[in-house]
Chains A and B, each alone.
Chain A
Amino acid sequence: MGLRARDVPRLGMTGMRSRPGRTVLTALGIAIGIAALVAVVGISTSSRADLLAELDQLGTNLLQVRAGQDLFGEAAVLPEEAPGMVRRIGPVERTAAVAQLSAAVRRSDHIDELETGAISMMTAELDLLDTLGATVREGRWLDAGTSHTPTVVLGSTAARRLGITSLTGSPLVWIGDQWFAVIGILDPVPLLANLDSSAFVGAAAAEDLLGWDGKVSTLYVRTPPSSVDDVRSVLAATVNPLAPNEVEVSRPTDALAARSAVDRELTALLLGLGGVALLVGGIGIANVMVISVLERRSEIGVRRAIGATRRHIRVQFLTEAAILASIGGAGGALLGSVVTAGYSRMQEVPFSMPPVAIAGGVGAALGVGLLAGLLPAGRAARLAPAEALRL
């Protein structure tokens, strides 16, 4: 004697069938909450997927060594022997030095020397590309031959600023007081935007043609991932044993990690807001269910009169609340996915929606619905049949 399990959902939908409009509005509250939660999770995973891709490309085992400031706040320089010293640190795989030059890069000699277009002139060691994992978009990187000749490789931003979009027509640029041939354009280097707006010449050419004194300003050091910390701890003292405090050692990906930490805080905040929306949605369901129980007193009375037990009534109203919330949850999950898809399209990051977010969203909605249904269902079940029928 009792209800068949398969009849329960049908029973739970009786109320919705009589008031579909109210069902939609009630479910909407939950839907907004779940949509917010799902979208926040989706957007943050999508951004993180993008971040991870960036991290993968760059590698977390790249260290950057720069000359900092001396005790008096003057710009310090790295000793000339620094690159050699660093190379002698056991685990270091590769290292490449760059030096900032004072010369300006111009499209032609008619352009004023002060119009640098914020392009840094750099001299680079031949290993730079491999050390950074950077790639050439067009043309080629400097080599033993070209590093002696007036040739230059442009970072992606620098090339754009100079108006050189391709190497067809063998473009030339004016550096110092002579023409340099552009032999290559780089792809953007992730996380090292300053290199994108630089132009690179070989060491020999820099010394011969641009008056470089041989002092490097920055070193890039690639280590095995396992010994990043070890190398990092000895880098400053190795580079400048006399004044290790004048050396700045950093890891470019740390900035990224910091950014992701900030993202995480924001995500937590948004999740909290979504949770509040869900709570409000749940209260909405409880509210509507309480009203529904009052309105349906006579239905409850009749059901009791024709054989429904208290438990049957409780099950009916709990099911109704659960179905309401599940409709909201499913709608919300869909809405949240659509929002995430829109975001990833707009931000050009890969769309990523963890299935657990969808499952969790619908599950949370179901939980909230059951919780919200407890009180009204209990009231409905406690209603004495004779009293329920007395109108």
Chain B
Amino acid sequence: MSVVELRDLTKTFDGGVEALRGVDIRIDDGEMVAIVGPSGSGKSTLLQLIGCLDRPTSGEIHLGGRNISRDGDRRLSALRGREIGFVFQQFHLVDALSAVENVALPLLYQSSRRAERHRRAVAALERVGLGHRLHHRPAELSGGERQRVAIARAIVTEPSMILADEPTGNLDTATGAEIIDVFRMLHADGATVVIITHDREIAASMPRVIHLRDGRVEADPADAGPIERSIERSIEQPIEQPIEQEVPDGAACP
């Protein structure tokens, strides 16, 4: 069953920049997908559209089988809160709040009780291995720990999909690998995970890699027939072309 289905999706920004020029992607429940591509290829825009943070110029977005392209703010907000967990390159934690308060934030907007929020936030932090850092402020945590807090925040609502935009971009290689391991663990537990990455090694280790270039899908193993896909997987060579070397500058989106 598809979690996400994008049909001929385009996004043109004010000023005429065409970030996406007709994208068709289907992501199934429980998949782990990497999205790669050079700067300006539309990766972040794509992720924001999947995550209901922005609206497409044309085309359709189906989440859980329902077309959400024309939904209003309230509905989209509810969808973001319940069905989607975001992880960002810059972590985006609220500095004034402790780790557990940051993780509990999404539940705040869902009318859950304070004690309940706390309990679930603690559980989420323990799941990402930060049970010992509950009451630290973001400033008191290392980069890797901050990203773990952000991941805990993404999974606290038990969403159907986790979207991560360059989650390792601000981390050193070893820490980045640890964070990817956390995602792998979540995936193993059944979560659908979509990760944008610049890191070739990380991309190479993903079961499915979607290449974007100039707002179009350049290569997606899912587009190939099932047999080719299984062959690709069996030879453990999912990337047909080397990923463009580029500066991970955080301004990858248009």
Q: A389–B109 contact, CB under 8 A?
A: no
Q: Does B185 make an interface contact (CB < 8 A)?
A: no
Q: B250–A1 contact, CB under 8 A?
A: no
Q: Mark the stretch among B80-88, B175-183, B191-199, B204-212 that contacts chain A.
A: B80-88
Which of A7, A17, A299, A385 interacts with B114 by CB under 8 Å?
Answer: A7
Q: Does A386 make an interface contact (CB < 8 A)?
A: yes
Given A309-B77, A385-B53, A389-B53, verify A303-B105 contact (CB < 8 Å): yes
Which of A18, A312, A386 interacts with B109 by CB under 8 Å?
Answer: A312
Which of A17, A18, A306 interacts with B106 by CB under 8 Å?
Answer: A306
Given A1-B78, A14-B97, A310-B73, verify A385-B54 contact (CB < 8 Å): yes
Given A303-B105, A307-B109, verify A386-B82 contact (CB < 8 Å): no
**How far is it, in angstroms, between the C-alpha of A310 and the C-alpha of B73 when the chains are bound?**
7
Q: Does B17 make an interface contact (CB < 8 A)?
A: no
**Using a CB-CB cutoff of 8 Å, which residues 24-68 of chain B contact chain A?**
45, 48, 51, 53-54
Number of interchain pairs (Cβ within 8 Å): 91
Q: Does B253 make an interface contact (CB < 8 A)?
A: yes
Q: A306–B86 contact, CB under 8 A?
A: yes
**How far is it, in angstroms, between the C-alpha of A2 and the C-alpha of B78 when the chains are bound?**
9
Residue of B nearest to A305 (CB): B86
Given A307-B77, A307-B80, verify A11-B108 contact (CB < 8 Å): yes
**How far is it, in angstroms, between the C-alpha of A11 and the C-alpha of B81 when the chains are bound?**
17
Which of B54, B73, B114, B153 interacts with A306 by CB under 8 Å?
Answer: B153
Q: A301–B109 contact, CB under 8 A?
A: no
A369 to chain B, nearest CB (A): 20
Q: Does B244 make an interface contact (CB < 8 A)?
A: no
Which of B54, B111, B113 interacts with A1 by CB under 8 Å?
Answer: B111
B82 to chain A, nearest CB (A): 7
**How far is it, in angstroms, between the C-alpha of A310 and the C-alpha of B82 when the chains are bound?**
16
B252 to chain A, nearest CB (A): 10
**How far is it, in angstroms, between the C-alpha of A15 and the C-alpha of B96 when the chains are bound?**
7
- Give the most central of A7, A15, A302, A307: most B CB within 10 Å: A307
Which of A11, A299, A304, A391 interacts with B250 by CB under 8 Å?
Answer: A391
Chain A residues whose CB sits within 8 angstroms of the CB of B88 once the complex forms: 302, 389
> Can you list, as one digit per residue, whether each of A351-391 has a CB less than 8 Å from chain B (1) or not (0)?
00000000000000000000000000000000011100111
B57 to chain A, nearest CB (A): 13
Given A2-B111, A306-B80, verify A298-B53 contact (CB < 8 Å): no
Q: Does B110 make an interface contact (CB < 8 A)?
A: yes
A378 to chain B, nearest CB (A): 14
Q: Does B90 make an interface contact (CB < 8 A)?
A: yes
Q: Does A3 make an interface contact (CB < 8 A)?
A: yes
Residue of B nearest to A4 (CB): B111
Q: B109–A309 contact, CB under 8 A?
A: yes
Given A307-B106, A307-B109, verify A14-B96 contact (CB < 8 Å): yes
**How far is it, in angstroms, between the C-alpha of A384 and the C-alpha of B51 when the chains are bound?**
13
**Using a CB-CB cutoff of 8 Å, which residues 5-21 of chain A contact chain B?**
7, 11, 14-15, 17-18
**How far is it, in angstroms, between the C-alpha of A17 and the C-alpha of B94 when the chains are bound?**
11
Chain B residues whose CB sits within 8 angstroms of the CB of A126 once the complex forms: none
**How far is it, in angstroms, between the C-alpha of A11 and the C-alpha of B107 when the chains are bound?**
13
**How far is it, in angstroms, between the C-alpha of A298 and the C-alpha of B94 when the chains are bound?**
9
Q: Does B74 make an interface contact (CB < 8 A)?
A: yes
**How far is it, in angstroms, between the C-alpha of A17 and the C-alpha of B102 when the chains are bound?**
14
Q: B94–A305 contact, CB under 8 A?
A: no
Q: Does B95 make an interface contact (CB < 8 A)?
A: yes
**How far is it, in angstroms, between the C-alpha of A298 and the C-alpha of B48 when the chains are bound?**
14
Given A1-B110, A2-B109, A389-B88, verify A304-B53 contact (CB < 8 Å): yes
Given A7-B114, A386-B54, A389-B53, verify A308-B109 contact (CB < 8 Å): yes
Chain A residues whose CB sits within 8 angstroms of the CB of B48 once the complex forms: 385-386, 389
A23 to chain B, nearest CB (A): 11
Q: Does B92 make an interface contact (CB < 8 A)?
A: yes
**How far is it, in angstroms, between the C-alpha of A11 and the C-alpha of B109 when the chains are bound?**
11
Chain B residues whose CB sits within 8 angstroms of the CB of A3 once the complex forms: 108-109, 111
B56 to chain A, nearest CB (A): 11
Chain B residues whose CB sits within 8 angstroms of the CB of A18 once the complex forms: 94-96
Chain A residues whose CB sits within 8 angstroms of the CB of B78 once the complex forms: 1, 307, 309
**How far is it, in angstroms, between the C-alpha of A306 and the C-alpha of B97 when the chains are bound?**
15
Q: What would 10 A/B residue contacts be, using CB atoms closer than 8 Å?
A: A2-B111, A11-B108, A17-B96, A302-B86, A302-B94, A305-B53, A307-B77, A307-B78, A308-B109, A309-B73
**Chain A contact residues, CB within 8 Å of chain B:** 1-4, 7, 11, 14-15, 17-18, 298-299, 301-310, 312, 384-386, 389-391
When A and B form their complex, which 5 residue pairs have the shortest distance between CB atoms, in order from nearest? A307-B81, A18-B96, A386-B54, A306-B106, A17-B96
